[in-house]
């Protein structure tokens, strides 16, 4: 079984598009003929996120941690207990490509990889107003969206159940839990496929749910705009 985990904290503005894209990825003809379970981890949600998941018939669990590392870990634990051999992770403000999951699994087989780290694209810079052109140029100049990159994004990450367990899983971090996991995987000797082939598009929103995350980084760059 293949498991997909999405941590969710008050993401009603983005979650429907995220889950719909994952459902398309699950239906991709390139996937192996095995069960895929999608799990939304509702972490201290006080909005309509749970209703959106239920409306799309997406399985969910609820926790009250306000911690993305614990949310990812809770989802992983539930799917591992159910027999998952591969875990794929994305974020609730992101949209995965139709071939996202199939590409992860193909890379794992092709490269004999224990984990796949993909890249991201940004869907719309306009929320940053007059600073949007500056941010777009900065992103294009500094972000390496090619194979053999060394980016780590919880929005585009896959790992085998064996390697995940060996690395100790996600730490209880409010930010950087994805980096910590990959560092632990490398320390265990895991083989990583650093590929730009699995595609994920994420938001460029200013308000970040994780201090120090991608949203905060964008805001800091925007403030430095001339």
The string of pLDDT tens digits covering residues 106-118 is 999 999 999 999 9
Percent of the chain with pLDDT over 90: 80
Q: What is the mean pLDDT of residues 200-216?
A: 68
Per the structure, the complete domain to which residue 177 belongs is given by: 2-223
The Cα 58–Cα 51 span in angstroms is: 10
Give the pLDDT confidence score for residue 204 in this predicted structure: 74
The Cα 25–Cα 10 span in angstroms is: 23
Per-position DSSP letters for 50-109, written without gaps between them:
HHHHHHTT-EEEEE----HHHHHHHHHHHHHHTT-SEEEE--TTEEE-TTHHHHHHHHHH
**Highest mean pLDDT out of 32-36, 68-72, 129-133:** 68-72
Residue 167: pLDDT over 70: yes
Q: Look at residues 122, 176, 124, 168 and name the one whose alpha carbon lies nearest to residue 145.
A: 122
Confidence class of residue 216 from pLDDT cuts 50, 70 and 90?
low
Q: What is the mean pLDDT of residues 75-96?
A: 98
* CATH code, domain with 219: 3.90.550.10
Q: Which residues pair with 171 in a beta bridge?
A: none
Residue 127: pLDDT over 90: no
Residue 197: pLDDT over 90: yes
Instruction: Mean pLDDT check: name the lowest of 15-19, 99-103, 139-143, 216-220.
Output: 216-220
Give the pLDDT confidence score for residue 178 in this predicted structure: 98
Give the pLDDT confidence score for residue 133 in this predicted structure: 86
Percent of the chain with pLDDT over 70: 90
The string of pLDDT tens digits covering residues 38-85 is 999 999 999 999 999 999 999 999 999 999 999 999 999 999 999 999
Dihedral of alpha carbons 6, 17, 2, 90, sign? negative
Average pLDDT over the chain, rounded to an integer: 92
Instruction: Mean pLDDT check: name the lowest of 110-119, 131-140, 193-202.
Output: 131-140
The total number of structural domains that make up the chain: 1
Give the pLDDT confidence score for residue 71 in this predicted structure: 98
């Amino acid at each position: 079984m293949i498991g997909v985990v999405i941590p969710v904290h008050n993401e009603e503005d983005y979650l429907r598009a995220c889950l719909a894209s994952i459902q398309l990825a699950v239906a991709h003809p390139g996937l192996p003929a095995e069960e895929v379970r999608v799990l939304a981890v509702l972490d201290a949600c006080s909005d309509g996120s749970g209703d959106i998941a239920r409306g799309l018939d997406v399985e969910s669990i609820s926790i009250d941690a306000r911690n993305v590392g614990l949310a990812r870990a809770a989802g992983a634990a539930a799917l591992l207990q159910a027999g998952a051999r591969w875990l794929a992770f994305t974020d609730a403000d992101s949209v995965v490509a139709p071939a996202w999951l199939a590409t992860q699994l193909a890379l794992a087989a092709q490269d004999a990889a224990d984990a796949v780290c993909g890249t991201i694209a940004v869907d719309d810079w306009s929320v940053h107003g007059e600073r949007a052109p500056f941010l777009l140029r900065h992103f294009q100049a500094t972000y390496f969206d090619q194979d053999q990159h060394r980016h780590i994004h919880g929005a585009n990450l896959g790992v085998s159940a064996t390697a995940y367990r060996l690395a100790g899983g996600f730490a209880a971090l409010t930010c950087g839990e994805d980096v910590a996991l990959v560092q632990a995987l490398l320390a265990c000797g895991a083989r990583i496929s650093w590929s730009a082939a699995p595609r994920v598009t994420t938001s460029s929103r200013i308000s970040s749910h994780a201090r120090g995350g991608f949203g905060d980084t964008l805001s800091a760059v925007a403030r430095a705009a001339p």
